[in-house]
């Protein structure tokens, strides 16, 4: 089972606020903490003491703490790749290498006596991971995570994200990506247009971002890149992550009937396997509700994303629920009872034949 994570940036906040946030996320089952040591300015010992205080508190709540570092920091702190005791003493469970080395160092680092995990950047699109694998790392201690992007329009292209993720998947390595909170106000850098891995996610609800990552089947763990997410977002994210079935938001038509609402919202839908290019069919509602009335109304022409229920004019199909994948003419036998919410329309591409899903009313 994958894990949910939050990010904290001690040098940009206070211990009290970080502690409160760690408590809140813990309540919703979050297990990972991402934090950054990319920029140590001022008194090194003071910075590290403050840092350790937060890490210790996170550890007391059983979080797995990953610290983002770059090669310059090894020099600055006088740490060698062969001795990770510094991070062990700090209480870190792992370190994320912001910039990679040659492959041999990473592999060597995975064989440290403390069991510290080495998390490498998944977003490069090079043969970096293949190179590390050729030095026979301890794969239990090797993880991948995508970058996050505070600058609008610089986030990952979806196809590039897929290609990079598949490279890691072929080695069965744990994968992680970042999503964006809209309540959060800061990250590790001054620029702040949100902090997600995929550019397409920047303006979406956090639950939609999570559903998408899960439907790709490529990501194990999901972390909120910026701080601090709201309680509402933490709850929505946890619900989306642990849901038995993905749920897609629907805006109901104004004249939707009680029986049509039951078809849409009171059922687990199953995408019929003998698929059509025109519609996704959930046929069981016509069996369950064959004795209910479905009079014709709102029989307008159909566009992609419309949610449909066949009316009495369709004989044995009466009560079948469908989602339109293409435009179709309506001869009067199909009721348009709602539409997939605009921000989740793209999720239709990720529902597979024979998969199950729920429809929920968009707020």
- For residue 198, the 8-state DSSP code is B
User: For position 39, what pLDDT does the model report?
Assistant: 66
Please give the average per-residue pLDDT across 184-210, as a whole number. Answer: 95
Q: Is 277 helix (H, G, I), strand (E, B) or coil?
A: coil
- Integer Cα distance of 292 and 263 in angstroms: 11
Q: Do the domains 248-361 and 4-242 match in fold?
A: no
The region of weakest confidence among 75-79, 86-90, 196-200, 312-316 is 75-79
Q: At a CB cut-off of 8 Å and minimum separation 6, what does 252 contact?
A: 261, 264, 337, 338, 361
Please give the average per-residue pLDDT across 70-89, as a whole number. Answer: 87
pLDDT tens digits, residue range 243-254? 999 999 999 999
For the cut 90, the answer to whether the pLDDT of residue 40 exceeds it is no
For the cut 80, the answer to whether the pLDDT of residue 149 exceeds it is yes
- For residue 93, the 8-state DSSP code is S
Strand arrangement, sheet containing 321-324? 268-270, 356-361, 247-252, 334-340, 306-310, 321-324, 279-282
Domain 4-242: CATH class, spelled out: alpha beta
User: For position 1, what pLDDT does the model report?
Assistant: 84
pLDDT band at 285 (very low <50, low <70, confident <90, very high): very high
- Integer Cα distance of 31 and 39 in angstroms: 25
User: For position 48, what pLDDT does the model report?
Assistant: 84
User: For position 157, what pLDDT does the model report?
Assistant: 98
- Integer Cα distance of 200 and 193 in angstroms: 13
As its CATH architecture, domain 248-361 has Beta Barrel (2.40)
Per-domain boundaries in the chain: 4-242, 248-361
């Amino acid at each position: 089972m994958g894990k949910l994570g939050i990010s904290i940036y001690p040098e940009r906040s206070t211990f009290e606020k970080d502690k409160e946030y760690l408590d809140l996320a813990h309540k919703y089952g979050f297990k990972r903490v991402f934090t950054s040591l990319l920029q140590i300015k001022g008194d090194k010992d003071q910075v590290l003491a403050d840092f350790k205080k937060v890490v210790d508190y996170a550890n007391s709540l059983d979080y797995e703490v990953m610290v983002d570092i770059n090669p310059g920091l090894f020099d600055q702190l006088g740490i060698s790749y062969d001795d990770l005791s510094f991070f062990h003493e700090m209480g870190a469970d792992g370190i994320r290498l912001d910039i990679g080395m040659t492959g041999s160092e990473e592999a060597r680092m995975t064989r440290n006596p403390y069991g510290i995990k080495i998390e490498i950047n998944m977003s490069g699109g090079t043969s970096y991971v293949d190179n590390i694998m050729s030095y026979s790392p301890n794969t239990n201690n090797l993880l991948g995570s995508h970058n996050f992007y505070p600058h609008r329009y610089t986030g990952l292209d979806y196809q590039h994200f897929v290609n990079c993720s598949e490279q890691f998947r072929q080695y069965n390595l744990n994968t992680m990506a970042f999503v964006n909170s809209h309540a959060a106000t800061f990250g590790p850098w001054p620029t702040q247009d949100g902090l997600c891995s995929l550019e397409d996610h920047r303006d979406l609800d956090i639950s939609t971002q999570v559903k998408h990552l899960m439907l790709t089947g490529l990501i194990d763990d999901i972390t909120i890149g910026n701080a601090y997410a709201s309680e509402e977002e933490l709850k929505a994210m946890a619900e989306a992550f642990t849901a038995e079935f993905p749920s897609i938001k629907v805006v109901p038509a104004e004249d939707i009937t009680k029986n049509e609402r039951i078809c849409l919202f009171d059922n687990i839908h199953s995408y019929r396997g003998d698929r059509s290019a025109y519609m996704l069919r959930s046929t069981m509602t016509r069996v369950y509700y064959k004795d209910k009335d479905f009079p014709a109304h709102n029989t307008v022409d159909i566009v992609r994303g419309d949610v449909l229920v066949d009316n009495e004019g369709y004989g044995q199909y009466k009560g079948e629920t469908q989602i339109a994948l293409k435009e179709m003419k309506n001869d009067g036998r199909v009721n348009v009872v709602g539409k997939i919410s605009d921000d989740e329309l793209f999720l239709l591409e990720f529902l597979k034949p024979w998969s199950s899903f729920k429809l929920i009313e968009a707020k």
